[in-house]
Structure 1
């Protein structure tokens, strides 16, 4: 059996993914399954270092939800309290407050950790 080493290059990463794919149906508690687990951990580590996903910006999350739901700024007035507040928050002139964050979490499903970031 070939030695298992850390993934350091994109080529090694692609090869590891191919090996993972070939082992995906391995029986639990088998040698192949253990190899699948180890290779998956190595691939995950490489991905976290090289393909890290930036945290979602709360204003961009709100705009995304608006676009997905076909909403205009005026549709957010009941959740923000006023037309001016909607405009100021979306233009980043005013921060989100806890009341608005709670409304967005409850009514739009925007995760609290996204709304509390930045």
Structure 2
């Protein structure tokens, strides 16, 4: 397969098949380089073709906590107090830059998912 832009679903399918074929390429080999380039092209095509909807930061935080088995007490430990965690989850306090940084650093939550504007309950 010649590497070229992915413009159609057929191109996408062909690129996915090629990635599957190259999956166990030896690091540093020409096939590994090709795999890396194809993965980048596929990611770009999928982001354009199937954009993710904007998600409310608090809904995202709650979903992340559920998916990773974290509780409100874990959030409280990270943010420094139980009332603060409760206020965040109940939309009575907005996330600060410092809180977003802590969530990003400690829990690997993409910062861009938390910096969107959202409505608080106040």
State the TM-score, normalized to the length of structure 2: 0.55
Contact 2:84–2:93 (8 Å) recurs in 1? no
Partners of 1:80 and 1:95 lie apart in 2 by: 8
Distance 1:66 1:7, change over 3 A: closer
> Residues 43-79 of structure 1, C-alpha deviation per residue, up to 9 Å, x if partnerless?
12212212233444222134434796576xxxx8932
Partners of 2:108 and 2:26 lie apart in 1 by: 39
2:49 is aligned to 50
Q: Report matched runs for 1:1-118 at 5 Å.
A: 2-64=1-63, 65=65, 78-80=82-84, 86=87, 96=94, 98=96, 101=99, 105=103, 109=107, 111=109, 113=111, 114-118=113-117
Alignment RMSD: 4.0
Q: Pick the structure with greater CA Rg.
A: 1
Deviation (angstroms), 1:21: 0.6
State how many pairs are aligned.
Answer: 107
Deviation (angstroms), 1:96: 1.1
Contact 1:23–1:32 (8 Å) recurs in 2? yes
Unaligned runs of 5+ in 1: none
Unaligned runs of 5+ in 2: 118-122
